[in-house]
Amino acid sequence: MTLLSIDHLTVQFATRGEPFTAVSNAALTVEPGQIHGLVGESGAGKSTIGAAIMGLLEGTGRISDGLIELNESKISGVDEAAMRDIRGSRISMIFQDPLTSLNPLFTIGEQLIETMVEHLDLNASEAKRRAIELLNRVGIPDPKTRIDQYPHQFSGGMRQRVVIALALCSEPEIIIADEPTTALDVSIQAQVLELIKELARERQVGVILITHDMGVIAETTDVVTVMYGGNIVETGPTEQVLGDPQHDYTRSLIAAVPRANRKVHRFPKLSYDGRQTDFAIEELARNWPKQEAPDGPLLKIEGITKRFVEKRSIFPSQRRMFTAVDDVSFEIRPGEVFGLVGESGSGKSTIARMIAGLYQVDKGEVYFDDIAVSHAGLDELATYRRQIQMIFQDPFSSLNPRHRVDAIVAEPALHLGVIPKDQINERVSELLERLGLGAEAGSKYPHQFSGGQRQRIAIARALATQPRFLICDEPTSALDVSIQAQILNILKDLQEYLGLTMLFISHDLPVVRQMCDRVGVLRNGQLVEVAETATLFSEPKNDYTRELLSLMPKTDLLSSQDLATAV
């Protein structure tokens, strides 16, 4: 029996001009106990489908055509009062960010009981008993005490468990989970997904799992629907769609997913969506200065430590410090890409910022070539700054929105005096050209570009000073997977053709596998293991490394037919 069925669903948003069609002609079904994955890149319309089912479309959005049925009764186009009877009681929803999904001023018990009393025929004390049971079931320890606590007293992972309990407490038939683990660390992500899987089986609830992450799809779902640009391009059993994708888009998407078990030379260049562009890093090599490689390492970190003030006080005894980076040492050889992995709060970005000179080093020293960075004189510091550059995580925040692209790209080179003013335009347009943006991109502003294009502008800015060393701080974690593949290809070119040395920071092990020659694993500010990448993935020595590797979503299901062509 089909629990939920959607047929020829079209959702439109009224805009200044023509209405924008976010979803067109979509169809899918969900069975009891089944997890149905909805996957696609940003703008694919997957969240819009979720909101349309709930009758919670934002702004000017409306269902312009189509039929949504729950247990064979129509729920699309019904009035708000009827919808409210369905929402919560028959369909529940889990949002992405557990930190903002709970009302901070009410205890979790109050929020649970309120929802249960609303939907089930229960009195308050009965509801409380059930709430405690449920909290116990979703894995909250000591639920009797914790039910009277406020959301801020729970950690992120625990809060997402509370959110799941809230979604379940009214005993719904369908749960729509919109990116339920995107805001969580890998280790917690695995636990939460496991919980959703168990509960779906146990209670025969249908789940629509909306995500951009192929790994999550492969791990969790029974059926998958792939969306692109508001259209459903392919749907079927997860194993079949991932293992033998039929549609060009699905194939390109799957080929762009980095694998932990296999290193590709370059990601295949697939031109399905027209978002791929040609770049020509090798052309840049002609005017690139040849620098003599030092005999030893290019960058040497010796016992660096960074403490942050956690609680300020005028009394020294009341101050609390937090050690973000604790006595870390490693070396990066010329021409090598060195990876640093770790979960959030492990100190990896802090290390990058200390190397970049954005944070003071509390203890220890950073050596670049012959320069001791934290004790460098002004001249040495200027030399150092010309030779290192950084690529940041979020291309939407790393470019000043009020500056033109040519000014953004030119600023480092001009400020550091690497190039005379009259030659800067030439260099800027060459860089923009080679990175596939076109020289005319210089006269535009950042908001006129997409995320991937912005990241290429950021790369152009970093290359303008012709540096030797590049710090990449999660350079692709804010990007869609096909764009990520493109940026990773560019970075690989930079290493191969320009001989750049890189520090590559990421929380994503498969990405690290693709990019890095050697990897260091960080935990709570300490470096627990350093090894050649292939060795680290095949024979991890440290327990924590082993745990991290075991928590990676499995990508074995994913087809590798297009990877061969690119090797």
Residue numbers at the binding site for another protein (CB under 8 A): 16, 54, 56, 84-89, 92-93, 95, 97, 100-107, 114-115, 118-119, 139, 141, 146, 149-150, 152-155, 157-158, 161, 163, 166-167, 170, 188, 191, 353, 356-358, 381-382, 385, 388-390, 392-394, 397-403, 411-412, 415-416, 458, 461, 465
User: Rounded to whole angstroms, how far apart are CA atoms 285 and 461?
Assistant: 16
By beta-carbon proximity to another protein, the closer residue of 413 and 563 is 413
By beta-carbon proximity to another protein, the closer residue of 385 and 434 is 385
Question: Taking the complex as a whole, how short is the minimal distance between the CB of residue 394 and another protein, in angstroms?
Answer: 6
By beta-carbon proximity to another protein, the closer residue of 152 and 201 is 152
Are residues 188 and 156 in contact, defined by beta-carbon separation less than 8 angstroms? yes
Question: Taking the complex as a whole, how short is the minimal distance between the CB of residue 152 and another protein, in angstroms?
Answer: 5
Question: Taking the complex as a whole, how short is the minimal distance between the CB of residue 359 and another protein, in angstroms?
Answer: 10
User: Rounded to whole angstroms, how far apart are CA atoms 205 and 32?
Assistant: 5
Question: Taking the complex as a whole, how short is the minimal distance between the CB of residue 438 and another protein, in angstroms?
Answer: 18
Question: Taking the complex as a whole, how short is the minimal distance between the CB of residue 417 and another protein, in angstroms?
Answer: 11
Question: Taking the complex as a whole, how short is the minimal distance between the CB of residue 345 and another protein, in angstroms?
Answer: 12
User: Rounded to whole angstroms, how far apart are CA atoms 139 and 161?
Assistant: 7
Q: What are phi and psi of 217, to 5 degrees?
A: -60, -50
By beta-carbon proximity to another protein, the closer residue of 230 and 475 is 475
By beta-carbon proximity to another protein, the closer residue of 62 and 266 is 62
Produce one character per residue of 527-544: b if its CB has 16 or more CB atoms within 10 Å, e if not.
Answer: bbbbbebeebbeebeeeb
DSSP string, 336-402: -EEEEE--TTSSHHHHHHHHHTSS--SEEEEEETTEEGGG--HHHHHHHHHHEEEE-S-TTTSS-TT
Contacts of 291 (CB under 8 A, 6+ apart): 468, 499
Question: Taking the complex as a whole, how short is the minimal distance between the CB of residue 355 and another protein, in angstroms?
Answer: 10
User: Rounded to whole angstroms, how far apart are CA atoms 93 and 101?
Assistant: 11
Contacts of 464 (CB under 8 A, 6+ apart): 409, 410, 412, 413, 418, 419, 427, 428, 431
3-class DSSP state for residue 306?
Answer: strand
By beta-carbon proximity to another protein, the closer residue of 303 and 417 is 417
Sheet of 206-211: strand order equals: 91-94, 174-178, 206-211, 35-39, 223-228, 231-237
By beta-carbon proximity to another protein, the closer residue of 108 and 512 is 108
Question: Taking the complex as a whole, how short is the minimal distance between the CB of residue 234 and another protein, in angstroms?
Answer: 28
- Please, is 246 exposed, middle or buried when counting C-beta atoms within 10 Å of its C-beta (0-12, 13-18, 19+)? exposed
Question: Taking the complex as a whole, how short is the minimal distance between the CB of residue 66 and another protein, in angstroms?
Answer: 21
By beta-carbon proximity to another protein, the closer residue of 106 and 308 is 106
By beta-carbon proximity to another protein, the closer residue of 174 and 257 is 174
User: Rounded to whole angstroms, how far apart are CA atoms 315 and 553?
Assistant: 47
* Cα diameter, the chain: 79
Contacts of 361 (CB under 8 A, 6+ apart): 304, 305, 306, 354, 373, 374
By beta-carbon proximity to another protein, the closer residue of 461 and 523 is 461
Question: Taking the complex as a whole, how short is the minimal distance between the CB of residue 186 and another protein, in angstroms?
Answer: 14
Q: How far is CA 307 from the centre of its chain?
A: 27
